Amino acid sequence: MDFELISTDSGSSARAGKITTAHGVIETPIFMPVGTVGSVKAVTQEQLRADVKAQIILGNTYHLYLRPGLDVISKAGGLHKFNGWDRPILTDSGGYQVFSLAANRKIKEEGVVFQSHIDGSRHLFTPENVMDIQRTIGADIIMAFDECPPYPSEYRYARKSMELTHRWLDRCIKRFGETEPAYGYEQTLFPIIQGSTYKDLRVASAEYIASRDCAGNAIGGLSVGEPEQEMYDMCGLVCEKLPVEKPRYLMGVGTPWNILQNIGLGVDMFDCVMPTRNGRNGMLFTWEGVINIKNKKWADDFSPIDANSTSAPSREYTKAYLRHLFVAGEFLALTLASIHNLSFYLELVTEARKQILAGTFAPWKAKMVQQLQVRR
Ligand code: PRF
């Protein structure tokens, strides 16, 4: 994997760059749609390519390992072959899902013992087997096994947890270095900063992660319930400690305005379930603000979902029609809302990149952060 830093904004820490992987190029800043089980919910790969213009999607180790399982993915020749997505893929390590989804999980030095949320079966994730599993899934970028402490966490717990994440990282790096890609193309490991909302822990974690000298770095443990300002403070702090010549990935963030603010702090990569999950509930993001498309006021609004959208469905279908699909419980509602929101998120980061390259990002961001939050 290669990262080229093309430009840094003069009025903020925002950056424009280019990541090159075995499955193609990613222009940063980028938003990565979440395809937990190997599918971005309600959206086909063709729609992701043509309408959303996604450059990279996410998969989850936890889900894919439980179902369909490594046998099937391995026989298919990896996740790209299995799901028909030939552009880059990143997999999260399960170090987050195991805490949010699994039952009876128990954290030990060795790893995490947990029960599947599907059938209750017992499993063990360790830094070593999570590297092996992600080799078999075959994503271009794979994530270290970490513990994401809840918010709020007491200082003592946050420190112990961060230290465990660091020890796990060293085991991940060792195993990753001892193993080969399963399908011939290069894979890259990103470590994850933790440290809850404690400044000294965040600084220590950022310095530790930076010292491991991986090809890219991630920021975990944020957007877990803390106030927005606290997320920005922590993110700004760690970005200053991370090497400039490597991409930075803020995990699980966030709203459109969160993304713009964090781009301004120096983040290059984002993922979040919000555009798809909230979309399936009728919440639409636009340049003019947030819409609840199920609201009665859209019942006879025959204007396009979004006249200026880069995606054809958002220009070709009306608000009244999409509202009708939601009220009638039609599956197409989920597809159209998901495509709309994802293409908006991709358009948001594409426009941010243009503004960075033009040197106009900071004032543009200040205006947009207000506008995007308006409830229409
Ligand atoms: N760790 C991992 N994945 C994550 C997170 C984390 O802390 C978050 C936190 N926002 C989202 N996804 N491995």
pTM above 0.90, yes or no: yes
Residue identifier of the C-alpha nearest atom 6 of ligand 1 = 220
Cβ–ligand 1 distance for 93 under 6 Å, the answer yes
Q: How far apart are CA 132 and CA 139, in angstroms?
A: 12
pLDDT (0 to 100) of residue 21:
98
Q: How far apart are CA 64 and CA 229, in angstroms?
A: 34
| 252 known ligand binder | no
Q: What is the 3-state secondary structure (H, E, C) of 96-163?
A: CHHHHCCEEEEECCCCEEEECCCCCCEEEECHHHHHHHHHHHCCCEEECCCCCCCCCCCHHHHHHHHH
Distance 347 CA to ligand 1 centre (A): 24
pLDDT (0 to 100) of residue 200:
98
* Catalytic annotation present for 213: no
Per-residue pLDDT of 312-337, as tens digits, reads: 999 999 999 999 999 999 999 999 99
| pLDDT tops 90 at residue 99 | no
| pLDDT tops 90 at residue 40 | yes
pLDDT (0 to 100) of residue 103:
87
Q: Residue 29: which of 309, 357, 278 has the closest Cα? A: 357
Q: Where are the alpha helices (DSSP H) in the chain?
A: 45-47, 61-66, 70-76, 79-83, 97-100, 127-137, 155-178, 199-211, 228-241, 256-264, 274-280, 312-316, 319-327, 331-358, 361-372
114 phi and psi angles, rounded to 5 deg = -150, 165
Per-residue pLDDT of 250-296, as tens digits, reads: 999 999 999 999 999 999 999 999 999 999 999 999 999 999 999 99
17 phi and psi angles, rounded to 5 deg = -150, -170
**Cis ω for the linkage preceding 304 (within 30 of 0):** no
pLDDT (0 to 100) of residue 173:
98
pLDDT (0 to 100) of residue 119:
96
ipTM: 1.00
Cβ–ligand 1 distance for 98 under 6 Å, the answer no
Q: What is the mean pLDDT of residues 15-21?
A: 98
